[in-house]
Amino acid sequence: MSATFTISDLAREFGVTTRTIRYYEDQGLLSPKREGMNRVFSHRDRVRLKLALRGKRLGFSLSEIRELFDLYDLAKDERRQLEAFLMRLEKRRALLEQQREDIEVMLSEITFFANQCRRLLKVEAEGKGEKAAA
């Protein structure tokens, strides 16, 4: 008999709420069996949850993760799934690289304007010091 897990087991193991797991189930990422009112998750559900959480950390949407799962479920071999995943990883990397460039530009602008404000404040303070001495 294969190992099964309760929703609480999975929530505790992966540090997520049971609400998150139920939401992933609603989104078609997990397919627990029912025993009365309880959800019983299989090893397959556990692996899919682990992959979904990893995908979220990489910035993939739940619909993108579901598409990858669907590809895996339909594929006769892993090649098609791996190619699709690689393509999505490359797109994600390009997006993150662009965001990093944008952040560097913004940080440079913030530094420039902050320095400008400091210079103006210094000039203003020096001008008040001259008036007080007169």
- As to burial, measured by CB atoms within 10 angstroms (0-12 exposed, 13-18 middle, 19+ buried), residue 18 is middle
pLDDT value at residue 14: 97
pLDDT value at residue 6: 95
pLDDT value at residue 85: 84
pLDDT value at residue 31: 94
36-49 pLDDT tens trace? 989 999 999 999 99
Tell me the mean pLDDT in the region 125-131.
76
The 10 Å CB-count burial string (b at 16+, else e) for 73-90 is eeeeeeeebeebbeebee
What's the mean pLDDT when you consider all of the chain? 90
64-109 pLDDT tens trace? 898 888 877 776 677 877 888 899 899 999 999 999 999 999 999 9
pLDDT value at residue 46: 95
pTM for this model (two decimals): 0.69
**Cα 13 to Cα 56: distance, rounded to the nearest angstrom:** 17
If one looks up domain 1-60 in CATH, what number appears?
1.10.1660.10
Q: Which residue has the tokens 């001495």?
A: 133
Cα end-to-end span (Å), the chain: 93
Q: Which residue has the tokens 């090649």?
A: 79
26-38 pLDDT tens trace? 999 999 999 998 9
**Domain residue spans in the chain?**
1-60
pLDDT value at residue 12: 97
pLDDT band at 133 (very low <50, low <70, confident <90, very high): low
